[in-house]
Structure 1
Amino acid sequence: MSVVQRVDDALKEGLGRGPLSGSRIPVTFDTPGSEWSARRSGPCVNVFLHSVEEDAQRTQTGRIGVVDEEGTVIGYRRPPRYFVLSYLVTVWAQTVADEHRLLGRLLEWCAVTEELALPQDGFGPQPDRLGLRVRATGGESSETPASRVWSSLGTPARPGLDLVVTVPLEREPIGTGPAPVHGLALRTGRLPARPEDDPAPRSARPRRRVEEVR
């Protein structure tokens, strides 16, 4: 399962436990084009992923030490890379009043929810939390990412939340060294003597000549 699929699952689970708790309103990730809206039946919350970008300001260079349970550095890894997934969250219901009521509940949930747990799939290093926020306005410009979505889809604009999800992607360790030494064992033993190392018999040793000097 890709990281985008896991983010989708985390959002669907978070919305189901939060503002949609106790209701049967489904969460869809379809493209909200004119054909989709014409086929839609019943209320729903649409979460449309419209852009994926890297947050270069948060991505760092260099290396980070990888330590074991005893605090020993056993290798190094590069810092994670941060990616921003932008979702346009809209409500589709029978009346405008119902849409605004549910949209308000979604806004309140987003205002108090800064993180979501990301489900793990067991393959490689994975992030376990992701950041969650509503995109801030970019000054006085009338064009926003959400407005560009509606114009590109050819669909009349409708109110929605531009939800920004930040995902850190860990990278594999590099330069992993050998396992650290946890102890040292010293053993002694007797080595067999070599024939050339055997001392010569005392009788076979040459005698020194000693003279008395007067």
Structure 2
Amino acid sequence: MIQDLDETIKELLTQKVPIDNTQIEIRFEMPFDKDWEPKPQTPKINLFLYDIRENHELRSNERFVTRNGAMGIETKDPVRMDFSYMITVWSRDVNDEHRLLGTLLKTLLRYPILPHEVLKGEFELNKDNPLVPPLRAWVTQPERTPNGWEFWTALEGRLKAGLSYMVTVPVQPFTPIDVPLVTEKIITWKKVDQKDWNKNVG
């Protein structure tokens, strides 16, 4: 599932920025090794997944039942998980870095809901399922952005401009179960003598 999210975000950048993958690399590893610092040969966009946690604001215990003949299929609402990325650009020229970072910012702000045409893997399979919420994205929200100094210090690297990008993903850990349905109504008539009738309505 996480690899499908990576591929979805990569496709979003490739289609909507757009990014020529032969000219600019899109990578997902921790952005520090001998090929990255200080001047990579090929410009790179790095999306480092640094945090995964449940979104408690969107927690739900709802259940949905769909008919399947005389039985029904009960499905629980999925768990909403927040996947947080730090997006950075690496190039020989800081002007190129800032230009591309600005383009990424404007592109990501245009898509608070990830469009169907970029979805990959299981997200593509679920795109027409009304019970599966869409993938929502948040860009550089103050309450969702890590402290830059602490973030880069933890990675033992120098301070660098980047975009905090969080995607809220519906994760379905529950298996649907079969449940019986009420398919008919039975009405029973009972003859009541006059004395009992008078007693009940009196």
Shared fold (TM-score, shorter chain, > 0.5): yes
Residue 176 of structure 2: which of 173, 176, 181 is its match? 173
CA distance in 1, matches of 2:133, 2:12: 14
Within 5 Å, which residues of 2 pair with 1:1-214? 3-22=1-20, 24-33=23-32, 35=34, 37-38=36-37, 40-68=40-68, 74-116=72-114, 117=116, 118-121=119-122, 129-138=134-143, 144-170=146-172, 171-174=174-177, 176-177=178-179
Secondary structure, in 3 states, of the residue corresponding to 1:47? strand
Which ranges of structure 1 fall in alignment gaps of 5 or more residues? 182-214
Gaps of 5+ in 2: 184-202
**Residues 125 and 73 of structure 1: is their aligned pair in 2 closer, same or farther, counting only changes over 3 Å?**
farther
CA 1:26–1:167: 2 relative to 1, 3 Å: same
| Aligned partners of 1:65 and 1:73 also within 8 Å | no
Identity of matched residues, %: 26
- Higher Rg of the two aligned structures: 1
Q: How many residue pairs were aligned?
A: 173
Letter in 2 for 1:46: N
Task: Give the stretch that moved more between structures: 165-174 or 93-102.
Answer: 165-174
Shift of 1:73: 6.9
> TM-score, normalising length from structure 2?
0.73
Relative to 1, partners in 2 of residues 1:125 and 1:20: Cα closer, same or farther, differing over 3 Å? closer
**TM superposition shift of 1:49:** 0.4
Deviations 1:9-47 (A, max 9, x none): 001111011223346211011101254523842211011
Greater fraction helix: 2
| One-letter amino acid of the structure 1 residue matched with residue 101 of structure 2 | L
Q: Determine the structure 2 residue equivalent to 1:190.
A: none
SS in 1 for 2:60: coil
- Kept in 2: contact 1:45–1:91 (CA 8 A): yes
Change (3 A) 1:98 1:9: same
Q: Where do 4+ consecutive residues of structure 1 move more than 3 Å?
A: 20-23, 124-129, 178-181
